[in-house]
């Protein structure tokens, strides 16, 4: 009888955890997939396929449109729908190309998930990366729930928000030279980073 109760409890616990895919599980799943891609020696031989696989896997959890909107800050609302789309695409390309090379330099660092905090449809997943030399740095993900899925809208590295950092840079460019100058700068930066 006790054995049967334990089996039922185990099944209920498994079903409950399967039904609730929390933000940490979603982040971990994406990070594990990225690590798998980075470690795939066959895929590494073809840089273009390797980079495409990385971008595809990261885009599952990253909401580039939300990140673009937050990075543009107060300048977002005055943009037309076409400008918003163009900016979000440019921003996504910038992030993908800027961070793909950093991700590709992964060298068996250990990722430790420390804490998850939930606040309604918002969450933060705190983690740290431990290098082979035992150096550590914090890497936190800020997420929101969109259409029932957890999506990353900001990454905080060693206490520095990626979105806030870009917002500050973008605001300076727009204030000094206008929005069109920012678009031109993003386009030329993306061209520069495009080659694998």
**Best CA proximity match to 173, nearest among 87, 113, 101:** 87
Confidence check: pLDDT of 95 > 80: yes
Residue 108: inside a domain: yes
pLDDT of residue 126: 97
* Nearest-10 crossing angle of helices 47-59, 81-104: 120
Residue 145: inside a domain: yes
Residue 16: inside a domain: no
User: pLDDT tens digits for 21-45?
Assistant: 699 999 999 999 988 888 888 877 8
How many structural domains is the chain composed of?
Answer: 1
Alpha helices, H only, 20-161: 23-39, 41-44, 47-59, 64-72, 81-104
Residue 3: inside a domain: no
User: Which structural domain range is residue 153 located in?
Assistant: 31-194
Residue 61: inside a domain: yes
Residue 12: inside a domain: no
Backbone angles phi, psi at 86, to 5 degrees: -60, -45
- Element (DSSP H or E) covering residue 167: helix 162-177
| Bigger pLDDT: 9 vs 140 | 140
Q: What is the CATH number of the domain that holds 95?
A: 3.10.450.710
Q: What confidence tier does 160 reach under pLDDT thresholds 50, 70, 90? A: very high
Name the one residue in this structure whose structure tokens are 């943009």: 79
Confidence check: pLDDT of 6 > 70: no
Confidence check: pLDDT of 18 > 60: no
Residue 123: inside a domain: yes
């Amino acid at each position: 009888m006790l054995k049967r109760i334990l089996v039922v409890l185990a099944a209920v616990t498994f079903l409950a955890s399967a039904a609730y895919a929390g933000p940490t599980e979603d982040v971990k799943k994406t990070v594990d997939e990225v690590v798998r891609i980075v470690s795939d020696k066959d895929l590494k031989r073809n840089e273009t396929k390797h980079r495409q696989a990385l971008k595809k896997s990261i885009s599952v959890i990253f909401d580039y449109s939300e990140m673009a909107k937050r990075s543009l800050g107060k300048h977002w609302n005055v943009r037309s729908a076409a400008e918003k789309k163009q900016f979000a695409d440019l921003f996504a390309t910038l992030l993908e190309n800027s961070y793909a090379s950093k991700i590709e330099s992964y060298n068996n660092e250990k990722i430790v998930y420390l804490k998850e905090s939930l606040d309604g449809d918002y969450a933060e997943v705190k983690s740290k990366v431990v290098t082979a030399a035992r150096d550590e740095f914090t890497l936190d993900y800020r997420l929101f729930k969109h259409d029932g899925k957890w999506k990353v809208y900001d990454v905080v590295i060693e206490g520095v928000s990626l979105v806030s950092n870009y917002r500050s840079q973008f605001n300076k460019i727009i204030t000094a030279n206008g929005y069109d100058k920012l678009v031109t700068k993003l386009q030329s930066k993306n061209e520069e980073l495009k080659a694998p």
